[in-house]
C-alpha cells in the first residue's frame, strides 16, 4: 500500500500535516488514506507526525456509529457486510470499513485484502475500505485501527464497521473499539454451541443467525430460539438493552431491514449508554496502553528479560513464591536507578 | 490480633525466622499464627523477613486441597462450612480456613471475625481459622491470603478453605487462589438469577443450592434443574470436568456427603488439571504482581500521578487520544532517566 502511494504521489512520504488535516476534515479520501498509512508506520518520525495529526483531528471525532461485526470463517461476513453496507449508503450515509485480522501478520491480511470481496460496495463513492494493518501484534492492530477509526470520523463518516474473524481474542478487542457488536452465527445449534463456548455471546449486542435462506430457514428458526433462551439466561445489562436474536440472509437480504432498525433504535435511544461505554473504552485503552508501555520499558533494561524467564519458570515449578519473584525482578529497576 | 500476640509473647515481634520455620513445619499453630502476622505486616523489615521465611517454606507447600467457597450474604456460608469442616476433621484431616473479605478495610473483617460463628469448629484441634487481613486493598488481601495459604500448607494442613462473600470481584480473586470453587445459592431461581448475572456460575466447579430443608426442598429441586440447564448451556471445559449442581443443607447436613464425594473425585481423578491450574495461577500472580509493581514504581515518580489524572480526564472527554496520552505520560520516565 505504501509502495503504491509513493509511486502515485512522490510527496506521500513527506506527510505535510497541515495539508493532511485540511484534507481529512474536508473528506478527501486520498489524504485520509495517506494519513492512515502514516498512523500505521512504525518509523519514529512518522509516529510523531501521526500523533500531531491525531491531536488536531480529535475535536472532529466521535460522530460515527461504531459497529463491530464478527463471526467464524464461512459464516458469510463479507456477503452480509456487502448487503448491509449497500443499505447504509443508499440511505445517503458514508461508510468506512476497517478490519482487525491478527492473522495478517502471516498472510498480510486475509480479510478485506481480497479485492474480489465486497466488489460492488468497494466501488461506491460513499464507502471507504481499509484492510487490517500487517506485521503487528493484536494490540498493535487494535491501536492502529482505533486511530484509523478516529481519522475516518474526522473525515465525516457516519458509520464505521470494524470487521473481525471469530477466532478468539480479536472479538474481545473489537468489543473495546465499538459501540455495538454484531455476532453472526450459522443455522444449527446442536452439539456445537458456536460462540457460547467462547463466551462471545456475552459480548454481543445483537446475535444474527445468518444464511437463513432456502432449506435452512427452519433450522435457523430453531437456532434463534436456542440462542434467545441462552441470552435470556445470561444477560442482565446495566443499560437495560435486551440483546435481540434474529435470523437473516446476507445473500437475499431478508431480515437486514430489521438489522438497520435495531441499529437505529440503539443509536437513537441509548446515547447515554454509548457515551458511558466510550468513556470506559478510552480509559481502557489508556490504562492497558500504559501497562504495556511500562512493561516494554522495563523489559528494555539489560538482563530483565532473562531474569523474568528464569523466575517465571521457578514460579511455575513452585520453587519461588510469585510475589517474591516480583520483588526480585523489580530489584533490577532499583539497581538501575541507584 | 497483633497486639494480642505481643501481650501473650514478648518475643513475637522479634520474628526469629529459623524458629518460625521449624515451628511451622512441625505443625506448631502458635508459630504459624505468628508467621501469618509477619506476612500481613506492612513494615519493610517485616516484609524482608516474611519473604525469607516463605522462601524456606516453599519446598513444603502445595500439598493441601485448596477449596474456595462463596455465596451472597444470607446463603448460609458459615453453617455450611461448620458442617462440612466437621466432616473433614472427623476424617482425620487438618483444615485451615482463611477469609477474603474486601469489606474488612472498613469493618476490620466482617467474616470469620465474629467469634460466635463456627463455634464448634473453631474449638477443634485440627482446625485453624484466620480472618481476612484488614486495612488492605483486594489485591493486597489476595497476596497475604495466598502467602498464608502457603504457610498453612507447610504446616501440614490437608485442606485449605478460602471463604469469601459473594459481592463481585472477590470471587474472581478467590478463583485464582484455589483448585476448586464452590458456589452456594439459595433455593428459588425465578426472576432473580443469582450468580448468573455476575458470570459467577462460569467460574464455579460445583454449584450447591443450600438451605434445601423443610418446605424449601421442592423449590431447591427446581433450582437445581434450572442451574443444571444453565451449566449445560455454558460450559465446555478443557479439563472435561462437568460442573455438578446439587442441593444440600448446611443445617441438617443433608447432601454434604455428596459434596465430600465430589471433592474426593475431583482431587483424586483430576490431578493433572489441578497441576496445570496451579501453574497458571502462579504465573497469573507473577504477571499481575509485576504489572502492579511497575505501576506503583511509576506513580512514585514526582508529578506522574497529577499528569495521569489530567490525561485520564482528557482521554475520557475525547480531547486526547488514549495512545498519545500514554506516550505523553511515559515521557516522565524518559525525562527522569535522562
Q: Do A193 and B58 touch (CB under 8 A)?
A: no
Q: State the ipTM, two decimals.
A: 0.77
Average pLDDT, chain A: 86
Residue A38 and residue A49 in contact, taking contact as beta carbons nearer than 8 Å:
yes
Residues of chain A with Cβ-Cβ distance to B153 below 8 Å are none
- Is 1.10.10.60 the CATH classification of the domain at A1-60? no
Beta bridge partners of A184: A71, A208
Preferred mutation among A290, A299, A313 to probe B, highest tally of B CBs within 10 A? A290
**Are residues B192 and B301 in contact, defined by beta-carbon separation less than 8 angstroms?**
no
Q: Map out the domains of chain A as residue ranges.
A: 1-60, 61-270, 282-337
Closest CA to B157 of B244, B222, B92: B92
CA distance A285 to chain B (A): 6
pLDDT score, position B54: 93
pTM above 0.80, yes or no: no
Query: Which of A239-248, B89-98, B194-203, B293-302 comes out lowest in average pLDDT?
Result: B194-203
Query: Which cell numbers hold the place of B252?
Result: 441438617
Q: Chain A partners of B298 at a C-beta cutoff of 8 Å?
A: 294
Antiparallel, parallel or unpaired: β A245-247 and A127-130: unpaired
Give the C-alpha distances (Å, rounded to integers) separating B297 from A231, A278, B51. 43, 29, 19
- Mean pLDDT, rounded, for A99-105: 72
B285-336 tens-digit pLDDT: 999 899 989 998 999 999 999 999 999 999 998 888 898 899 999 988 877 7
Tell me how far apart the alpha carbons of residues A171 and A191 are, in angstroms, rounded to a whole number. Answer: 22
Residue A50 CA to residue B2 CA, distance in Å, equals: 57
Which residues in B46-157 belong to E strands, given as ranges?
65-71, 95-100, 127-130
Which residues from A are below 8 Å from B316, CB to CB? Answer: 279, 282-283
Range in A82-86, B42-46, B64-68, B146-150 with the lowest mean pLDDT: B42-46
**How far apart are alpha carbons A168 and A198 in whole angstroms?**
7
Nearest CB among B58, B197, B293 relative to A318 is that of B58
Query: SS3 of A194, please?
Result: coil
CB contact under 8 A, A289 and B318: no
Contact B318 A285 (CB under 8 A): no
The rounded distance, in Å, linking the Cα atoms of B184 and B317 is 42
Which cell goes with B29?
A: 499453630
Distance, CA of A307 to CA of A161 (rounded, Å): 43
> Could you give the CA distance from residue B47 to residue B45 in angstroms, rounded to a whole number?
5
CATH architecture group of domain B61-270: 3-Layer(aba) Sandwich (3.40)
Closest chain A residue to B200, measured at CA: A234
Q: What is the mean pLDDT of residues B22-46?
A: 94
Distances, alpha carbon A173 to alpha carbons A101, A145, A267, in Å: 11, 11, 21
Best residue of A326, A329, A333, A337 to probe chain B, by most B CBs closer than 10 Å: A326
Residue A330 C-alpha cell reads as: 523489580
Cβ-based neighbour number of residue A167 at 10 Å: 14
Amino acid at each position: 500500500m505504501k509502495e503504491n502511494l509513493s509511486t502515485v504521489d512522490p510527496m506521500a512520504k513527506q506527510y505535510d500535516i497541515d495539508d493532511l488535516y485540511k484534507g481529512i476534515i474536508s473528506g478527501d479520501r486520498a489524504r485520509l488514506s495517506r494519513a492512515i498509512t502514516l498512523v500505521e508506520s512504525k518509523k519514529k518520525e512518522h509516529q510523531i507526525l501521526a500523533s500531531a495529526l491525531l491531536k488536531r483531528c480529535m475535536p472532529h471525532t466521535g460522530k460515527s456509529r461504531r459497529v463491530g461485526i464478527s463471526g467464524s470463517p464461512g459464516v458469510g461476513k463479507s456477503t452480509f457486510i456487502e448487503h448491509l453496507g449497500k443499505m447504509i449508503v443508499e440511505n445517503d450515509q458514508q461508510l468506512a470499513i476497517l478490519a482487525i485480522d491478527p492473522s495478517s501478520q502471516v498472510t498480510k491480511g486475509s480479510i478485506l485484502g481480497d479485492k474480489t470481496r465486497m466488489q460492488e460496495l468497494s466501488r461506491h463513492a460513499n464507502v471507504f475500505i481499509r484492510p487490517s494493518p500487517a506485521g503487528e501484534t493484536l494490540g498493535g492492530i487494535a491501536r492502529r485501527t482505533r486511530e484509523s477509526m478516529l481519522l475516518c470520523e474526522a473525515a465525516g463518516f457516519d458509520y464505521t464497521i470494524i470487521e473481525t474473524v471469530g477466532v478468539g481474542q480479536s472479538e474481545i478487542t473489537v468489543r473495546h473499539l465499538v459501540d455495538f457488536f454484531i455476532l453472526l452465527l450459522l443455522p444449527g445449534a446442536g452439539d456445537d454451541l458456536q460462540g457460547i463456548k467462547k463466551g462471545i455471546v456475552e459480548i454481543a449486542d445483537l446475535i444474527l443467525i445468518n444464511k437463513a435462506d432456502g432449506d435452512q430457514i427452519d433450522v435457523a428458526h430453531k437456532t434463534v430460539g436456542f440462542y434467545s433462551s441462552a441470552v435470556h439466561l445470561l444477560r442482565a445489562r446495566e443499560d437495560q438493552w435486551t440483546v435481540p436474536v434474529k435470523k437473516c440472509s446476507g445473500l437475499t437480504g431478508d431480515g437486514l431491514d430489521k438489522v438497520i432498525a435495531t441499529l437505529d433504535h440503539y443509536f437513537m435511544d441509548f446515547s447515554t449508554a454509548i457515551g458511558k461505554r466510550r468513556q470506559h473504552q478510552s480509559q481502557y485503552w489508556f490504562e492497558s496502553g500504559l501497562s504495556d508501555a511500562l512493561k516494554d520499558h522495563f523489559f528494555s533494561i539489560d538482563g530483565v528479560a532473562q531474569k523474568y524467564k528464569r523466575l517465571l519458570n521457578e514460579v511455575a515449578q513452585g520453587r519461588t513464591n510469585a510475589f517474591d519473584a516480583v520483588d526480585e525482578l523489580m530489584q533490577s529497576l532499583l539497581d538501575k536507578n541507584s
